[in-house]
Amino acid sequence: MALRTWTTRAVLDWTTQDFAARGIESPRLDAELLVAKALETDRVGLYLDLNRPLSNRERSAIRPLVARRRQREPVAYILGHREFYGRRFTVTPDVLIPRPDTETLVDHALACIPEDAACRVLDVGTGSGAIAVTIAAERPLAVVTATDISEAALKVASRNAEQLEVADRIEFERADLLRGAAQYDVVVSNPPYVAQSEIDALQPEIRQHEPLAALEAGEDGLDVVRALLAAVEPATMSGAELLVEVGIGQAASVLDFAANHAAWHLVAVYPDLDRIDRVVHLRRI
């Protein structure tokens, strides 16, 4: 019986089928990304050489990456990076993986920040720094402060700021929400917003691998958002903008809470690409 020849195509096909059988979403894409990493190429490079037999060394490099994905470890953690707003960000299990939904938050935050004037911006719960770094890169005159309660997360965010050459324009601070008496023109946040009762229903990639402290926020998932609105009020002047990412079905509750605080006026609620209300935009009265 002849031994099977493991070409790039054969490995991709086998890995895709294995991932699909395990209920992994986007099995082909995941297979391509992991095989490309092991072979030190990109997805285009794979398809330019699909029929090339792989060496034992190359196959040995692929196996541990596939094994990690079989354990439902997110691809971004295996690769060590994730694309966000056209830039590559380092990610580790110390931070949430940046998601396309959060690009909606960045889009609308940038619309509030002038391109030709200085503006003080605060990113609360910065995690990987994806929001703060993107704003600093897109608005060179903005002065950005980024806070997080996790020292490990701040190290990842600082690394991303250095790699994307905006470290000189971002001040990173360890703080629960925010610290000090600085006055900000724009405050943005992608806070924890998963209810305690919903944690067990999350995908294994999220529940087992991403930091729980960056996900869970009390009985209704809004503990951090409520605390944020109260904390930001004395740190902003009239006309300041506050943009907060929220979970599915939470926008109405956030608006009810804001309505009980005379300091905030609703500007808009913005949907994400799936037309889910994702960002609440308030303005300081």
Is pLDDT above 70 for 3?
no
> Token pair for residue 98?
């940046």
pLDDT of residue 1: 42
Query: 31-34 contacts: CB < 8 A, separation 24 or more?
Result: 31/66, 33/75, 33/79, 34/62, 34/65, 34/66, 34/69, 34/75, 34/78, 34/79
Q: Return the CA Rg of the chain.
A: 21
Is pLDDT above 90 for 250?
yes
Give Cβ neighbours of residue 9 (< 8 Å, ≥ 6 apart).
50, 51
How do residues 59-107 score in pLDDT, each as one tens digit?
Answer: 999 999 999 999 999 999 999 999 999 999 999 999 999 999 999 999 9
What pTM does this model have?
0.92
Average confidence (pLDDT) over 22-38: 97
Rounded distance, CA 251 to CA 28, Å? 35
Q: Pick the closest to residue 193 from 132, 124, 268, 250 (CA basis).
A: 250
How do residues 145-195 score in pLDDT, each as one tens digit?
Answer: 999 999 999 999 999 999 999 999 999 999 988 876 679 999 999 999 999
Burial class (CB in 10 A: 0-12, 13-18, 19+), 285: exposed
Rounded distance, CA 283 to CA 285, Å? 6
